[in-house]
Amino acid sequence: MTKPEHLHRIDSVKFVAVVMVVAIHASWYMYTSEQRSFWTYDVYRGALDIAVPIFLVLSGYFLARKDARGIVAWSAKVLMLYLVATGIYVVVDVVRVVTDRLFLDRGLRSGLRSVVKDWSMSTFVRGDLAEVHLWYLVACAAAGLLLALMRSRGASAGTMLAVGGAVWVVSLSGFVDLSALVVSGGFPRALVFLALGVFIAERSIQGSWRHVAVMAGALAVYTLLRYLGAGSAKDLLILVAAYALGAYAVRAGTRPSVLSRLGGAGVHRLHPPHDVHLCDDPGRAVRGARLRHDA
């Protein structure tokens, strides 16, 4: 039996993407700084917005080989990750109340009430019960279930992408408020980018350096529009950039590099919620290609 090829470029891309995610969080300090300007913040901040979508695209790429039952099982694993992560953050919140100086002068009961007052089934479903960044996991689980339903109905990858794109555009336009499902527009984003990954896999799209140029151009225009305060329509450029980078990442026949070794070594776990494709079944081929899993 032929050993499936390892896609080293995926490892490289996911390592760069997780560094970008960390940079997004760190850049918040410059966003609120009096020294913020185009050259100290906006010139690079827009480009960082490709990080989360590319993780979704890669997850969708590996979902392409699964039937409806397999996608449901994947969603269940992601939901379990969300439950565990939420539990950890709840414990951290309680410890923070007991130890943080901001709470020590309030009394234990008052401090606990200030933390748990927003805990509800609604915030749990929205993905911000204990930590807003966990929206990613809820969004993936919910979008995965809808993809499983479409798969069970025999929908093609193109149909999945069309449905995901329509839901995303409706959300961007503001015609329908989907924030009650997942915060940060999480559900529509997860649906369209997961579907995009499925589309890339099933159409056997393999990118080249021309795709990198397309990505760079799309991100440059997006960054400028973001700085000028353009509306949500500019987010369509992120879809273009994610498609180009996703196609480039899954190209076969690539050799290992320093970045791919770092990505394959599990450095991406610096920000584990953004590597949900680790929930996939390790070692199985997607049309002759595979991603090594460290779980």
Where do the structural domains in the chain lie, given as residue ranges? Answer: 5-269
Average pLDDT over residues 110-127: 71
Instruction: Please give the residue that has the higher pLDDT: either 112 or 154.
Output: 154
Residue 5, SS3 per DSSP? strand
Instruction: Please give the residue that has the higher pLDDT: either 203 or 266.
Output: 203
Lowest model confidence (mean pLDDT) among 156-170, 237-251, 257-271: 257-271
- Distances, alpha carbon 95 to alpha carbons 32, 81, 130, 221, in Å: 27, 21, 13, 44
Q: What angle in degrees, to the nearest 10, is found between the helix axes of 68-99 and 135-152?
A: 170
Residues in contact with 192: Cβ distance below 8 Å, sequence separation at least 6, in sequence order: 161, 164, 165, 167, 168, 239
pLDDT of residue 159: 96
pLDDT of residue 138: 87
% of the chain beyond a pLDDT of 70: 75
Mean pLDDT (the chain) is 80
Residue 224 has pLDDT above 70, yes or no: yes
Hey, what long-range contacts does 209-212 have (CB within 8 A, 24 or more apart)? 209/248, 211/244, 211/245, 211/247, 211/248, 212/244, 212/245, 212/248
pLDDT band at 275; cut points 50, 70, 90? very low
Answer for the pair 239, 192: CB distance below 8 angstroms, yes or no. Answer: yes
Indicate the pTM of the whole model.
Answer: 0.83
pLDDT band at 175; cut points 50, 70, 90? confident
Which secondary-structure segment (H or E) carries 6? Answer: strand 5-6
Average pLDDT over residues 39-61: 92
User: Phi and psi dihedrals of 129, rounded to 5?
Assistant: -65, -50
Give the count of beta carbons closer than 10 Å to the beta carbon of residue 26: 9
Residue 239 has pLDDT above 50, yes or no: yes
Q: CA nearest 188: which of 200, 177, 204?
A: 177
Instruction: Please give the residue that has the higher pLDDT: either 217 or 187.
Output: 217
pLDDT of residue 78: 92
Residue 144 has pLDDT above 50, yes or no: yes
CA 295 to chain centre: 18
Average pLDDT over residues 196-203: 95
Pairwise CA distance, residues 11 & 277, whole Å? 12
Residue 49 has pLDDT above 50, yes or no: yes
Q: CA nearest 243: which of 273, 278, 206?
A: 206
Residue 4, SS3 per DSSP? coil
pLDDT band at 35; cut points 50, 70, 90? confident
Residues in contact with 40: Cβ distance below 8 Å, sequence separation at least 6, in sequence order: 30, 33
Pairwise CA distance, residues 42 & 185, whole Å? 22
Pairwise CA distance, residues 33 & 27, whole Å? 10
pLDDT of residue 216: 96
Q: CA nearest 267: which of 88, 11, 47?
A: 11
pLDDT band at 202; cut points 50, 70, 90? very high
- Quickly list H helices, 47-107: 51-63, 68-99, 101-104
